[in-house]
Amino acid sequence: MGMLKSQEAVHTALSAGEIAGHPGLHAAIQQQSRLLLQIYDGNPRLASVFGTQHRWLMAQTALALHFRGDGRGMRSAQILDFVSRHGVASRNTADAFVKEMLKYGYARLLPQAEDKRTRPLEPTEASLDALHGWVGIHLATLDRLDHGQRLETFLGTQGALASLQPRIADGLLSSNRVRHPERTFSLFTWLNNGGLVMDWLIAGIEEADLDAERVATGIVSIAALAERLKLSRTHLARKLGDAEALGSIGWHGKRGQSVMWVSAGFRREYVTAQAVKLAIIDAAFDECFCARPIAALPAMPRIALAGAVHEAA
């Protein structure tokens, strides 16, 4: 017995332009940033492992290979070849990434292969839980924009993650705007936990005139921010200095001893990048849940995620 993935609801994926122009986007993205920071607080090491652009894309690639493997696992050679072929990172970088995943218990070897050199691997529960939370948070953001039921559908359908994530990965890897973000945004995407730095800046914006050229963030100390996100203070200060030189951030008084502000231009870059990512996720959701029937299976919702998102909404 089949059912429509949308449960007969009409859903049309939002475009990046529609998302970027939505009047409620800033509040939705602020909430998204706060929830992503909660994921970091729950497992800082795991979040840091995926804390740069190329690590994030390598993780998305590996997870897509896993889900498309029908339980057979993924092999290191597959990951290395795919990552290298799509220009995400070099084979050596990808190999180091896979070994790090195994070392910290975010991936494990499957026992069925006799040859250890070709033994397949799979993500552990910690990695899948983090991915589940990441997807759910972004679906909740989309729901806030159009009062949709994406998160409810996702949480209420067993196997949803395995079907949805590969489509998201395809969209991310094929998007030039994801792979080559704008100038200030790109400064932080290659910094360890750089995405979290931007999330922290956006989450801390004060409720003020959001159309102003400069809006205060509530951040004063570079050292405190570096410690909070387990970053090199020197490296973070250098990146913030580069962003300051572009006019994207600054301080209302003495640098490092007064409240930091972010410019309207940087906020536009952040909003654009988030809109592109959210549009990719929504297109994947539309294809996954609204295009084809799937077998009705009992749901296995992640209660912690559902509670966190709904409490914050």
Round to whole Å and give the CA distance between 24 and 312: 15
Give me the pLDDT at residue 208, please: 59
| Strand residue runs (E) in the chain | 2-4, 107-109, 121-123, 214-216, 249-251, 260-263, 293-295
Round to whole Å and give the CA distance between 308 and 35: 8
Task: Per-residue pLDDT tens, the chain, 313 aa: give them.
Answer: 333 344 444 578 999 999 999 999 999 999 999 999 888 888 888 877 777 888 899 999 999 999 998 777 898 999 999 999 999 999 999 999 999 999 999 999 987 655 556 789 999 999 999 999 999 999 999 999 999 999 999 999 989 999 999 999 999 999 999 988 877 877 787 777 888 888 888 888 866 566 788 998 888 888 888 888 888 889 889 889 999 999 999 999 888 778 999 999 999 999 999 999 999 999 999 999 886 544 433 333 343 444 445 444 4
Give me the pLDDT at residue 54, please: 86
Round to whole Å and give the CA distance between 86 and 82: 6
Give me the pLDDT at residue 261, please: 92
Give me the pLDDT at residue 163, please: 95
Give me the pLDDT at residue 107, please: 94
Sequence-separated (6 or more) residues with CB below 8 Å from residue 2 = 293, 294, 295, 296
SS3 261: strand
Round to whole Å and give the CA distance between 184 and 173: 21
Give me the pLDDT at residue 90, please: 92
Give me the pLDDT at residue 278, please: 98
Give me the pLDDT at residue 59, please: 93
Are the C-beta atoms of residues 295 and 6 closer than 8 Å to each other?
no
CA-based radius of gyration for the chain:
20
Give me the pLDDT at residue 119, please: 80
Round to whole Å and give the CA distance between 168 and 165: 5
Round to whole Å and give the CA distance between 283 and 274: 14
Round to whole Å and give the CA distance between 189 and 199: 11
Are the C-beta atoms of residues 165 and 59 closer than 8 Å to each other?
no
Domain 183-269 has CATH 3.40.50.2000: no
The DSSP call for residue 180 is S
Give me the pLDDT at residue 10, please: 57
